[in-house]
Amino acid sequence: MRAVEKIVKIEELQFNELSADKKDFVKKAQTASLQSYAPYSEFHVGCSVLHANGHIGTGSNQENASFPSGLCAERVALFESAKTLDDNKVTEIAVYASSTKYQVPKMLVPCAGCLQVISDLRNRQMSPIKIWMWDGAEDVFVAEDVSQFLPFHFELIKE
C-alpha cells in the first residue's frame, strides 16, 4: 500500500504590509458585503474578482426564504465574470465576511460549492486563481490556487 499526501500551503500576510492595489482589492470585497441580502443567516459576505486586464468585479451573498435558493458572494461574482473568460481571465478573488450573530473565521475559506465553481473556472481558462481571505482585521490569508483546498480536483487536459 502506498499513501498519497497533499500539503496545503496558505500564506499569512499583514494587511498593513499589502501594496495599495492589494489593499484596495480586498477592501472591495468588504464593500461588496454591504450589499448582501442575508436576513436569515445574518452572515454578510462580499467577493471581489480581479481580471487579467485589471478590472475588478464584485458580488455579495443573496439569500432566499426558499433555502437553498440563495447564492454565495463568490458565485455571484464569478458567474458574472465567466462571460468574459476567453478574453479576460480571472486571476484572483478576495473574500470578506462579517456577522453580528456568528464569529467569522480568521481564514474564511469559500464553501465547497464555491470552491468547485472556482475549480471549474480555473479549468476552463487553464490558469490558477489566487484566493485572498480577509475578516477585516490585520491577518490576510492567501492561497495560490483553489487546488490548495481541493487537492484532488478534476483537471482538464487540452491536447
Q: What is the pLDDT of residues 114-158, one digit of tens each?
A: 999 999 999 888 899 999 999 999 999 999 999 898 877 666 655
7 — pLDDT class (breaks 50, 70, 90): confident
The pLDDT, as a whole number, for residue 20 is: 97
pLDDT for 85 beyond 80: no
Which runs of E-coded beta strand occur in the chain? Answer: 10-14, 43-51, 56-60, 90-99, 130-134, 139-143
Instruction: Provide the grid cell at 42.
Output: 445574518
Spatial CB neighbours of 2, under 8 Å, sequence gap ≥ 6: none
Total structural domains in the chain?
Answer: 1
- The residue annotated as part of the active site, out of 11, 17, 63, 74, is 74
114 occurs within a structural domain = yes
Between the alpha carbon of residue 85 and those of residues 6, 8, 110, 143, 144, the distances in Å are 29, 27, 21, 21, 19
156 occurs within a structural domain = no
The pLDDT, as a whole number, for residue 156 is: 62
**Across 4-30, average pLDDT:** 94
Is residue 74 annotated as a catalytic residue, yes or no?
yes
pTM: 0.91
78 occurs within a structural domain = yes
The pLDDT, as a whole number, for residue 81 is: 83
Task: Identify the domain containing residue 69 by its residue range.
Answer: 10-148
158 occurs within a structural domain = no
The pLDDT, as a whole number, for residue 141 is: 97
108 occurs within a structural domain = yes
153 occurs within a structural domain = no
The pLDDT, as a whole number, for residue 129 is: 95
**Across 7-16, average pLDDT:** 93
Q: What is the CATH number of the domain that holds 95?
A: 3.40.140.10
1 occurs within a structural domain = no
121 occurs within a structural domain = yes
